[in-house]
Amino acid sequence: MKPTNQINIGIVGCGYWGPNLIRNFRSVPGCHVKLACDNDQKRLAYISQLYPEVKSTTDYEALVNDKEIDAICVATPVWTHFELAKKSLKAGKHTFVEKPMASNVLQCRELVDLADHNRLILMTGHTFIYSAPVRRIKDIVTCGDIGDILYISSQRMNLGLFQKDINTAWDLAPHDISIILYIMGAQVNSVNCQGEAHINPGVEDVTNMSLTFSNKGFATIQNSWLDPNKVRRMTFVGSKRMILYDDNEPLEKIKIYDKRVEVPPHYDTFAEFHYAYHYGDMYAPYLKQVEPLKVQCEHFLDCISTGRDPNSSGRDGLHVVEVLEAASESLKRGGAKVEISEIVQEQTTNDLKITDTKIARAN
């Protein structure tokens, strides 16, 4: 018998990332990781060796049909997310899906609708939203300390790990996009993306994306699996101050620069124009180090208990996939601008076509 208030979790996907989720869920009081599922017996043997109390299965149906399980976490490759999450939601389980939430906008919408209809929590693994530096940047921006955000630039690069089913944008950019959407607090209007596949034909290992926003904000994202160094760097340029966030820094992850450019009302000489540059102090606030993944796991459990909407909800997952899909479309068009409304429109039209075909077949 399950104790009252205990939340039982099942997890599907025990490859590289799944064990991190198991470790963190296990550490939260009131949470019991009951069952782990993977197609690969070797991965299940590894989990059993680490956590003997966690039962294991290769049969996802056993997980979905386990009446004692309240929530399922999906940590499998992206192309499998939709089917696994859909089955979980249909079985009445709260569902956590790793990033990116699904392979396209249509699938994300279906998951969001299903969760709404069944009154279930649907959360996506935008881990950095739960990290101390990003939380602090959000606070600084919200209280108006850096002024209006003019632009954000992000670089997330390293050597590998090469994926076969998704390009570097779908692999790495969900982190950049989710942070940017969280901080910018505005909707993306359009996306341009260019990239090249140097190693695996058809799978871009280097991509450069730019986003325009409804509030006139602008962002650029550079992702690569072909870089000698691991780079995790973001710059937030405000009208009053600027923030540099380097996730590789062990202690001073964010630095706030009191720097800005003030265009004078008029100037007669180039020397006078220089006075418009403001150079002030830099400070690096103290940030308490807590594993973001632990905060994320606690938040999922809290949302299940209280019914509150997660900070990285299914809708947030959908918005990230809208940007990724627009980026893929732009890549196909050689970097041309793709409006988000086109993606949404295209999906709706395809949706209608599919529905028409179904109706025609039924007739």
Ligand X SMILES: NC(=O)c1ccc[n+]([C@@H]2O[C@H](COP(=O)([O-])OP(=O)(O)OC[C@H]3O[C@@H](n4cnc5c(N)ncnc54)[C@H](O)[C@@H]3O)[C@@H](O)[C@H]2O)c1
Name which of 94 and 126 has its Cβ closer to ligand X.
Answer: 126
Residue 77 found at the interface with ligand X (CB under 6 A): yes
CA-derived radius of gyration, the chain = 22
Beta carbon of residue 102, minimum distance to ligand X (angstroms, whole number): 10
Number of residues that bind ligand X (CB under 6 A): 22
Of 51, 56, 54, the closest CA to residue 34 belongs to 54
Site for ligand X in 81-100 (CB under 6 A): 98-99
If you ran DSSP here, which 8-state letter would residue 130 be given? G
Residue 285 found at the interface with ligand X (CB under 6 A): no
CB atoms within 10 A of CB 139: 11
* From 6-14, 131-139, 249-257, 318-326, span contacting ligand X (CB under 6 A): 6-14
What are the backbone angles phi and psi of residue 77, rounded to the nearest 5°?
-60, 155
Helix (H) or strand (E) holding 64: helix 60-64
- Interface map 28-67 toward ligand X (x if CB under 6 A): ---------xxxx--x----------------x-------
Q: Return d(Cα 253, Cα 286) in angstroms, integer.
A: 9
Residue 140 found at the interface with ligand X (CB under 6 A): no
Residue 151 found at the interface with ligand X (CB under 6 A): no
Residue 310 found at the interface with ligand X (CB under 6 A): no
Residue 247 found at the interface with ligand X (CB under 6 A): no
Q: Which of 7, 12, 31, 169 binds ligand X (CB under 6 A)?
A: 12
Please name the residue that has the structure tokens 């399922």: 72
CB 160 within 8 A of CB 111: no
Please name the residue that has the structure tokens 């550490």: 27
Q: Return d(Cα 239, Cα 116) in angstroms, integer.
A: 39
Q: Which of 64, 78, 132, 206 binds ligand X (CB under 6 A)?
A: 78
Q: Return d(Cα 252, Cα 255) in angstroms, integer.
A: 7
CB 10 within 8 A of CB 71: yes
Residue 75 found at the interface with ligand X (CB under 6 A): yes
Beta carbon of residue 43, minimum distance to ligand X (angstroms, whole number): 4
Name which of 178 and 192 has its Cβ closer to ligand X.
Answer: 178
Residue 125 found at the interface with ligand X (CB under 6 A): yes
Residue 335 found at the interface with ligand X (CB under 6 A): no
Q: Return d(Cα 188, Cα 337) in angstroms, integer.
A: 12
Q: Which residues bind ligand X (CB under 6 A)?
A: 12-18, 37-40, 43, 60, 75-78, 80, 98-99, 125, 127
